[in-house]
Structure 1
Amino acid sequence: MTEQRRLAAILVADVVGYSKLVGSDEAGTLAQLQALRTDLIEPQIVKHAGRLFKSVGDGFLIEFSSAVQAVSCAKAIQDANSRGHLPMRIGIHVGDVVVQGDDLMGDGVNVAARVEGIAEPGGIAITRAVHEQVRDKLDLGFLDKGEIELKNIQRPVQVFVIAGAKVGSQATALPLPDKPSIAVLPFQNMSGDPEQEYFVDGLVEEITTALSRFKSLFVIARNSSFIYKGKAVDIKRVGQELGVRYVLEGGVRKAGTRLRITAQLIEADTSTHVWSERYDGELQDIFDLQDRITSSVAGTIEPTIQEVEISRRLRRRGGNLGAYDHYLRALALFNSFTQTSVEGMLRHTRRAISLDPLFAPAYMIAARAHIQRLIQGWVVDLQRERTETLDLVERGLQADRHDPLMLGTAGHCFAWFGHDIGKGLAYIDEALEINPNNAHGFLQSGVVRTRAGQLEKAREHLERALRLSPRDVRGYAYFQAMALIDLLAERTQEAREWALRAVQHNANYAPGWYVLAASEGILGEKAKTKDAVDRLVALDPKFSISGLLERLPTKGPEVMKPLVDGLRLAGLPE
């Protein structure tokens, strides 16, 4: 018997969190579901000439002969159910289906079911096949989500989500780039002084330029952002029109001889405020103030967005992950400082590299995982570790020779694993020249310069790093680096205070404990020394002074003499 097939538009809908709702109120949820079906879904199906061919629990599968009818029905259902107690997701695909009696089977149905899972609660997701047929026929805006790997579907499927009405003359909002994207809108001049307009516009231009130096960000050019100058803006609409996930806006107010600048970072799609800050300064120092604000905003925005992106990506439901997803999952483990977390970082970065061999950030995080193993004392075969790490950074530099994060990490590794401090500093300095707002680059500079005996320059760069990123989640590394500088400069009390801050910030960070043990040893605090030594040995049972010196090269043995003396006074083995 010949198999019956036909082309159809398939709509798949289900209730969000249905199992949980039934668990908390079975009778009430079932009654609401029945009302949803009879009072809303079935009338809309009839109105739009559809056919309900399957209903399973909270799921509904509906056939239409037209993509326009399917999307119109979905929009009517979601609009009518916007305040309902049973929010729904809807997915739509046009494709070939197999007819089995009243039922329909095949990829046309399967793709629609998978696409439904991409929609937000109350939202509608459609495939490219549907989009091509409805984009010029319905007064709807569409957001391009790009090609997405769907479970058990052979090829990636391009997916669009419905995003309100058309944006201007465009039926489709610009697609989001595959990395965090931001637009800096013109700041408002709230001072009433037209003379300050140049300062306000200049500040925005400087911030835009500074952010564009971060290769991890996609930054909209100033000329595009400035079309909104002097207009009341809808942040969500701006996000759609410019194709960005984040928007930075702010204002400047003059009061006497003082200026107050406010800035806030907003997630465009949800209008959620992610970060805000206020800056005050004297009018006569206007250009110094502009530079300070630019550095502070740029240095804070990038790690803030990175944290939000990690959280957002980790909430994604299952499916095939791309190189960027694996990179973010590795990054999420960065501050744990456990052997398990380091193995996780390496596992995810290897997968990212296999998916995209030219994705430099994956090599950078993989190299930092090896740095963690080195400083924590977890290296089993030091020569093998050196070879593998240096190979990683060379491949990362081949992937992107101008990425400041890759350059800085390469410099760190050339110093630590290649025992070439001069070469390491050359790469770190190049990274800072490309992006002078890179807080982590100044941290790397401070750490490596300390081993070179350049204590004052190291301190200057660490202070710069702390000013750029005053609330950094990696504060423990900054504090330990300052502690070591003070210890080597024989400011032992100050060294102890910094080291205490480091271990309080991250108790798994072994370098914080060995500087604290050395400081307490020099100060003669026996009980506190023992506690620091015990904590250090718990993290690194094979810790020895000679092992530490072998792992971390210096310009000469005299550079680390105060640290070595302190470790000996603390009773740590040679």
Structure 2
Amino acid sequence: MRIRLLGGLEVTSPDDRQVRFTTRKTSLLFAALVLAGRRGHRRDQLSELFWPGRADGQARNSLRQALVDIRRSFPPGEHATTYIDGDQDSVALIVDPDQTDISIFDLKLQSDRPSDLAIAADLYRGEMLAGEALADGMDEWFGPHQNKYEQKAQQLVERLSLALSQPGSPEETACEGLAERLLASDPTAEAAHRALMRIHTLRGHENAALRQFELCKALLKRHLGAEPEAQTTALAASLQAGKAGDLPLTAPKANAATGPKPPAPSVSTPLHDRPSVAVLPFQNLSGDPEQEYFADGIVEDITIALAQFRHLYVIARNSSFTYKGKAVDIKQVGRELGVRYVVEGSVRRTGDRLRIAGQLIDASTGAHLWADRFDGTLADVFDLQDQVAASIVGAITPKVEEAEIERAKRKPTESLDAYDYYLRGLAAFDRTITNRSSLEEALRLFMQAIERDPEFAVAYARAARCYATRKSNGWMIDRAQETGEATRLARRAVELGWDDAIALSYGGYVLGYVSGDLDASAACIERALVLNPHLAAAVGVSSWIKICSGEPEAAIEHASLAMRLSPFDPRLFAWQFNVGLAHFCAGRYDEAAAWAGKSMRHQPNYPSAMRVAAAGLAKAGRIAEAREMVARLCAFDPTLRISNLAEILPPFRRPDDRDRYIEALRIGGLPD
């Protein structure tokens, strides 16, 4: 049994025969399920992606037929290792990780042994799903996966070439093959050019290595109008100076011409208790020294913005800039600066166009956690600088949080401290806010964090947030007692965290929603935005404040900004709900229902979104659909009635917003 996605889709059945699916869409559906792993996908998302434009029933029927096609090749059974699993809402492909090339590739990348890296290099036969024609919409689905594995392959070819110690080894052959495959698809891939330069040098062919550099330089000029990166130029300079013996090293020696030497790692700097990050100088690949200020300005903005996150320890710009103009080893940077994460990037100018690339790297493993690029024009150079800084910060913080949660999970239970309890609480809370046991677990973990650190402001805020979810879902048992406890926790969060934007965001939200003090809530959110205007959570909560205050257009603007700042955030569904509720308050009922539907696709059985969807459908005259949604809502919360609806509604300042909302749910069939 073998499933290959890298270099094109190739599937071999357990009886060692080539699997041919009936249609191209079935093949791509199979690939999407492989990539999703055991978490699977929601059926409505798959139907919408693969059969857009069809009625919901027709699309779901097409999905069922495609799944039947897959089951023919992989029937379920007692001894089956690959099979379709799922229910009415979701579907997953259960497959042994040892049978998929991407799983083995990822596993081997975690190793430092050249033999394992060589196996990974051989597995990368080319771009993921190469040769598969992706229809409109599917490229947005598969594109991030394709980009991620291409970036991993470029990281791999660099690492493997630096690990080569003697010519003629299997590792050298694997590295050379990977470099050539990368250049076949992207002739400007400098990591592959550098790998071939090192291989030529290892074989004693310095002239061939220099010719490879000249080829790299010519291709960059032709395709991008740019010069090679500093690391590539430094490698060529070492060759020309006759320092071939030093080539496998990652960074040349510093001298008076290159600037100050980075801090010597004479003593290993211990990592900080909280996640720590350094933003390295961005490379100016434009061949234009005038763009140097722009690259430095971006780094300055990103460093300042990241420093506003109280849970991050950010290395000062002066320390990071000791690496300016030098080829660096990320693991070495992590050790020397004592950080877990490193941000690096580049600026490239072609004509009047600018391209800025950024990436987040785990300094302990060298693994890429996130990467993206941004394009703009010179005319808007400073606006672009602000946009890039905000986007990078917005994308990085959730990724750091995810990585820290995984780190906490690996920590032995008996040695947990307050921050690890907090991270585990986050993992439980983000699992699903519609699972009561998960919410109780999250609250318990946050309270354990508070017990170990009574001044842990953001833990108080997150614990208070659990009570807000209990209220929204109709799970409060003793309303007076739980409201009092939520208020106590929120006020303590704000008191301890008056300079912590995250504590202010969630503590402020609870003061508004649970305690009903909208003025205090707004004051907290305003201060959070002053402290950190790039914090997506604060911007998202501010959209809720605008709704309650009767400013639906501003609410939509703020929610949209939150989604742009952190497009893959676990709280995305909440911001989509905010847009839906704002449209309802503005009298755009079809839009309200549509946005509530988007929210539910990300967070099924989200009662707040169900209520907005039902109200929007009812006011839009789509009564049958509204009644179906109310029935679904009542199945989730059987105790909900018009008479107790006020207990869970937001504190609307405009009576008309509240009255129309309640009336709409009455039209939709919510019992009195």
Normalised by the length of structure 1, the TM-score is 0.69
**DSSP-derived class of the 1:333 partner:** helix
Give the one of 567, 573, 576 matched to 1:479: 576
**DSSP-derived class of the 2:587 partner:** coil
Please say if residues 395 and 566 of structure 2, whose CA atoms lie closer than 8 Å, have aligned partners that are also in contact. Answer: yes
Residue 530 of structure 1: CA displacement? 3.1
Give the one of 527, 549, 553 matched to 1:452: 549
Residue 168 of structure 1: CA displacement? 6.6
Matched, 1:372 2:434: no
Please say if residues 357 and 399 of structure 1, whose CA atoms lie closer than 8 Å, have aligned partners that are also in contact. Answer: no
Question: For the structure 1 residues 542 and 242, does the alpha-carbon distance in structure 2 shift closer, same or farther, using more than 3 Å as the test?
Answer: same
Give me the whole-angstrom Cα distance separating, in 2, the residues matched to 1:245 and 1:170. Answer: 16
Question: For the structure 1 residues 546 and 451, does the alpha-carbon distance in structure 2 shift closer, same or farther, using more than 3 Å as the test?
Answer: farther
Give me the whole-angstrom Cα distance separating, in 1, the residues matched to 2:660 and 2:349. Answer: 51
**DSSP-derived class of the 2:415 partner:** coil
Question: For the structure 1 residues 521 and 319, does the alpha-carbon distance in structure 2 shift closer, same or farther, using more than 3 Å as the test?
Answer: same
Please say if residues 180 and 217 of structure 1, whose CA atoms lie closer than 8 Å, have aligned partners that are also in contact. Answer: yes
**DSSP-derived class of the 2:355 partner:** strand
Matched, 1:550 2:647: yes
Superposed, 1:93-492 pairs within 5 Å as 169-335=264-430, 336-337=432-433, 338-492=435-589
How many residues of Structure 1 are paired with residues of Structure 2 in the alignment?
A: 413
**Alignment-derived partner of residue 662 in structure 2:** 564
Give me the whole-angstrom Cα distance separating, in 2, the residues matched to 1:169 and 1:462. Answer: 46
Q: Which amino acid aligns with 1:542?
A: T
**Alignment-derived partner of residue 602 in structure 2:** 505
Deviation per CA, 1:374-419: give whole Å up to 9, x if none.
Answer: 1111112222122101111222233332111111222212212222
Structure 1: 5+ residue stretches without partners: 1-80, 86-166
**DSSP-derived class of the 1:183 partner:** strand
Residue 253 of structure 1: CA displacement? 0.4
Residue 542 of structure 1: CA displacement? 1.2
CA RMSD of aligned residues (A): 1.9
Residue 319 of structure 1: CA displacement? 2.2
Please say if residues 356 and 374 of structure 2, whose CA atoms lie closer than 8 Å, have aligned partners that are also in contact. Answer: yes
Q: Which amino acid aligns with 2:630?
A: V
Deviation per CA, 1:297-317: give whole Å up to 9, x if none.
Answer: 111111111012112221334
Give me the whole-angstrom Cα distance separating, in 2, the residues matched to 1:312 and 1:214. Answer: 19
Give me the whole-angstrom Cα distance separating, in 2, the residues matched to 1:82 and 1:431. Answer: 46
Q: Which amino acid aligns with 1:409?
A: Y
Q: Which amino acid aligns with 2:492?
A: R
Give me the whole-angstrom Cα distance separating, in 1, the residues matched to 2:457 and 2:447. Answer: 12
Give me the whole-angstrom Cα distance separating, in 1, the residues matched to 2:350 and 2:578. Answer: 40
Give me the whole-angstrom Cα distance separating, in 2, the residues matched to 1:265 and 1:173. Answer: 22
Q: Which amino acid aligns with 1:569?
A: I
Q: Which amino acid aligns with 1:193?
A: D
Deviation per CA, 1:10-34: give whole Å up to 9, x if none.
Answer: xxxxxxxxxxxxxxxxxxxxxxxxx
Give me the whole-angstrom Cα distance separating, in 2, the residues matched to 1:382 and 1:195. Answer: 63
Question: For the structure 1 residues 281 and 82, does the alpha-carbon distance in structure 2 shift closer, same or farther, using more than 3 Å as the test?
Answer: closer
Q: Which amino acid aligns with 1:265?
A: L
Please say if residues 505 and 524 of structure 2, whose CA atoms lie closer than 8 Å, have aligned partners that are also in contact. Answer: yes
Give me the whole-angstrom Cα distance separating, in 2, the residues matched to 1:525 and 1:556. Answer: 25
Normalised by the length of structure 2, the TM-score is 0.60
Give me the whole-angstrom Cα distance separating, in 1, the residues matched to 2:517 and 2:576. Answer: 25
Please say if residues 462 and 507 of structure 2, whose CA atoms lie closer than 8 Å, have aligned partners that are also in contact. Answer: no
Q: Which amino acid aligns with 2:607?
A: A
**Alignment-derived partner of residue 671 in structure 2:** 573
Please say if residues 264 and 336 of structure 2, whose CA atoms lie closer than 8 Å, have aligned partners that are also in contact. Answer: no
Q: Which range is displaced more, 375-384 or 498-507? A: 375-384
**Identity percentage of aligned residues:** 44
Give me the whole-angstrom Cα distance separating, in 1, the residues matched to 2:278 and 2:114. Answer: 32
Give me the whole-angstrom Cα distance separating, in 2, the residues matched to 1:549 and 1:261. Answer: 49
Question: For the structure 1 residues 516 and 82, does the alpha-carbon distance in structure 2 shift closer, same or farther, using more than 3 Å as the test?
Answer: closer
**DSSP-derived class of the 1:173 partner:** coil
Question: For the structure 1 residues 243 and 190, does the alpha-carbon distance in structure 2 shift closer, same or farther, using more than 3 Å as the test?
Answer: same
Greater strand percent: which structure?
Answer: 1
**Alignment-derived partner of residue 32 in structure 1:** none
Question: For the structure 1 residues 231 and 344, does the alpha-carbon distance in structure 2 shift closer, same or farther, using more than 3 Å as the test?
Answer: same
Please say if residues 499 and 512 of structure 1, whose CA atoms lie closer than 8 Å, have aligned partners that are also in contact. Answer: yes
**Alignment-derived partner of residue 44 in structure 1:** none
Greater helix percent: which structure?
Answer: 2
Residue 469 of structure 1: CA displacement? 1.2
Give me the whole-angstrom Cα distance separating, in 2, the residues matched to 1:277 and 1:502. Answer: 25
Residue 527 of structure 1: CA displacement? 4.0
**DSSP-derived class of the 1:172 partner:** coil
Please say if residues 465 and 507 of structure 2, whose CA atoms lie closer than 8 Å, have aligned partners that are also in contact. Answer: no
Give me the whole-angstrom Cα distance separating, in 1, the residues matched to 2:297 and 2:538. Answer: 26
Q: Which range is displaced more, 437-446 or 451-460? A: 451-460
Structure 2: 5+ residue stretches without partners: 1-111, 117-261
Please say if residues 265 and 335 of structure 2, whose CA atoms lie closer than 8 Å, have aligned partners that are also in contact. Answer: no
Give me the whole-angstrom Cα distance separating, in 2, the residues matched to 1:422 and 1:171. Answer: 54
Give me the whole-angstrom Cα distance separating, in 1, the residues matched to 2:308 and 2:342. Answer: 17
Q: Which range is displaced more, 260-269 or 460-469? A: 460-469
Deviation per CA, 1:468-526: give whole Å up to 9, x if none.
Answer: 11222221101111001111111111111101101111013110111111122223334
**Alignment-derived partner of residue 90 in structure 1:** none
**DSSP-derived class of the 2:311 partner:** coil
Please say if residues 544 and 572 of structure 1, whose CA atoms lie closer than 8 Å, have aligned partners that are also in contact. Answer: yes
Residue 565 of structure 1: CA displacement? 2.4
Deviation per CA, 1:62-88: give whole Å up to 9, x if none.
Answer: xxxxxxxxxxxxxxxxxxx97899xxx
Please say if residues 559 and 576 of structure 2, whose CA atoms lie closer than 8 Å, have aligned partners that are also in contact. Answer: no
Please say if residues 556 and 582 of structure 2, whose CA atoms lie closer than 8 Å, have aligned partners that are also in contact. Answer: yes
Q: Which range is displaced more, 390-399 or 269-278? A: 390-399
Please say if residues 494 and 508 of structure 2, whose CA atoms lie closer than 8 Å, have aligned partners that are also in contact. Answer: no
Please say if residues 181 and 217 of structure 1, whose CA atoms lie closer than 8 Å, have aligned partners that are also in contact. Answer: yes
Q: Which range is displaced more, 187-196 or 513-522? A: 513-522
Please say if residues 269 and 338 of structure 2, whose CA atoms lie closer than 8 Å, have aligned partners that are also in contact. Answer: yes
Q: Which amino acid aligns with 1:281?
A: G
Give me the whole-angstrom Cα distance separating, in 2, the residues matched to 1:454 and 1:192. Answer: 48
**Alignment-derived partner of residue 153 in structure 1:** none
Q: Which amino acid aligns with 1:558?
A: D
Residue 226 of structure 1: CA displacement? 0.1
Give me the whole-angstrom Cα distance separating, in 2, the residues matched to 1:468 and 1:168. Answer: 34
Give me the whole-angstrom Cα distance separating, in 2, the residues matched to 1:252 and 1:401. Answer: 37
**Alignment-derived partner of residue 36 in structure 1:** none
Give me the whole-angstrom Cα distance separating, in 2, the residues matched to 1:347 and 1:277. Answer: 37
**DSSP-derived class of the 2:347 partner:** strand
Q: Which has the larger radius of gyration?
A: 1
Give me the whole-angstrom Cα distance separating, in 1, the residues matched to 2:335 and 2:641. Answer: 57
Give me the whole-angstrom Cα distance separating, in 2, the residues matched to 1:223 and 1:423. Answer: 39
Please say if residues 488 and 559 of structure 1, whose CA atoms lie closer than 8 Å, have aligned partners that are also in contact. Answer: yes
Please say if residues 589 and 620 of structure 2, whose CA atoms lie closer than 8 Å, have aligned partners that are also in contact. Answer: yes
Deviation per CA, 1:131-152: give whole Å up to 9, x if none.
Answer: xxxxxxxxxxxxxxxxxxxxxx
